[in-house]
Amino acid sequence: MKSIIFTSIIILSLGFHSCCKQTAYPVAGISLTYSAVSDFTVLYDARSQKSDLSKVVDTVKVGEFNSINKYTLVVEFDESRYNHILFTSDGRSVDTISQVAYVRDKCNDIQDFEYELNGVKSTKNRITID
């Protein structure tokens, strides 16, 4: 009887696991396009404490806007630990992404993704900033 129960548990576990896509670990993020950028420009992300935008913890280079990537970059959010102050090297754009929140389902896919862009709630994964 114990072996039947044990075998049933293994089969059920394999069945639940097999429903997941076998792909790379998904990362929460948005595809960001600045419509006003038409020359080579670098995008930086000043990551601040979640509770205080004035306390910057780290600044990273997100990437370079250029004609090859059609002035579009992906900004990733690692487990939503920070607020993000995005700014371009030409000084024309400064935007804030805060209140990043999401959950992972049993297959680690991103669900219920939301954030605030300059104080406005959004769930879009592609945005264009004028």
The residue with tokens 């400064």 is 94
Q: What is the mean pLDDT of the chain?
A: 84
**pLDDT > 90? residue 21:** no
The residue with tokens 């389902």 is 105
More confident residue, 24 or 49: 49
Check if the beta carbon of residue 96 is closer than 8 Å to that of residue 118. yes
pLDDT score at 73? 94
Confidence class for position 62, pLDDT limits 50, 70, 90? very high
pLDDT score at 51? 84
Residue 117 φ/ψ region, left for φ over 0, alpha for ψ in the -120 to 50 degree band, beta for the rest: beta
The residue with tokens 């002035």 is 71
The residue with tokens 């075998």 is 7
- Strand partners of residue 56: 48
Contacts of 18 (CB under 8 A, 6+ apart): none
Confidence class for position 7, pLDDT limits 50, 70, 90? very low
Cα dihedral across residues 67, 72, 76, 81: positive or negative: positive
